[in-house]
Structure 1
Amino acid sequence: MKPLPFPYPINIGTDIVHLPRIAALLTRRDESLTRFTGRILCTQEQDDFRRRFHKLFTPQPPNIKPPTIQKPDVQPPVIEPATSCAPPISAEMTRWLAGRFAAKEAARKAAPEGAASIGWKDVMVRVQERTPGNTKQPSDSRRPEIVYLGDEERGIPARIGQLSISHDGEYVVATVLAAG
């Protein structure tokens, strides 16, 4: 008997990320964090990233040292430049970015035309909004989902895929289920 094809047009993508690899990537150079987030996160995700880790992105005032010798002709205070412009990379930030990276890679693999057909910024990880009165969804549990952004100019509609992200020790794994 000839096997029957699966009756539904769905695609599955999975990716696993080793956290130390992402941590090393983020701390390689001064601008590694900015380059990494600029490369993989779409505008909405970059805004979400800044909101989540806003304390790391608030500009700190420069170190101002008063003059040591008080003369009649008082000199202006000496302003020392900050030692580093880059915010510190926390473990929570690394896990969050690794989760986004794994989710986007899984979404690219689950795309109907395959991973090569879409870029990092063509998919977005979105956390479902809490809906008042929804008894099926606990108030503290919001499920992430993948949004294939589409292209209005070419008539390609945005679509939503199902996403599961899991963190364990030094690993993050993501699986996406998308309609084909």
Structure 2
Amino acid sequence: MPILGLGIDIIHLPRLHALLTRHPPAKFTHRILSTCERLALLSEFPTLSLNTPLPKHSCGFAGLDAGERRLVAYLGARWAVKEAAFKAMYPVYTLRWPDVAVVKTKGKPYLILDPAIAKATNVCSSHVSMSHDGEYAYAQVIFETPP
């Protein structure tokens, strides 16, 4: 299948953590996550309070407990996927945050593209890979069109 575009992105997680200490996670999640992604977030982190900023630590990102680090990595990976999708689609189409959703099925991430955009851009399939290690989250997205 011909490739419409390839996009990659990396995010430094301490930068995202700093943002989440200044503003409640609800503001961030409502901006970048789709409704189904927000529901998955609440399912993954059932005790999470989205209405209060994350606590600041004297050691910064290194001082986060395991749950907070997991949350920041989770959100960072989704941010990176969406940024990679934007790069893969540009200049054919300029995506917005809600146009793309990341879902996991049996541990594998999948990209859901708004059907109207998929039709307009002739995208028939997408491939996504995301990872996080230490202070970084990384994602790669490929969009394919029919032969």
Q: TM-score range by the shorter chain?
A: 0.7 to 0.9
C-alpha RMSD of the superposition: 2.7
Distance 2:6 2:53 in 1: 36
Between Structure 1 and Structure 2, the one with more helix by share is 2
- After superposition, where does 1:1-180 map in structure 2 within 5 Å? 8-29=2-23, 31=24, 33-57=25-49, 86=52, 88=54, 90-111=68-89, 113-114=91-92, 117-128=94-105, 130=106, 142-151=107-116, 156=120, 160-180=125-145
Distance 2:91 2:116 in 1: 15
The structure with higher relative contact order (CA 8 Å, sep 6+) is 2
Shift in Å, 1:113: 3.6
Contact 2:5 2:89 in 1 (8 A): yes
The residue type equivalent to 1:86 in the other structure is T
Structure of higher CA gyration radius: 1
Length-normalised TM-score, structure 2: 0.77
Distance 1:118 1:34 in 2: 22
Structure 1 equivalent of residue 60 of structure 2? none
> Residues 48, 159 of structure 1: CA spacing in aligned structure 2 closer, same or farther, 3 A cutoff?
farther
Structure 1: state its 5+ residue gaps: 1-6, 59-84, 131-141
Length-normalised TM-score, structure 1: 0.64
Structure 2: state its 5+ residue gaps: 56-67
Percent pairwise identity: 34
Shift in Å, 1:86: 1.5
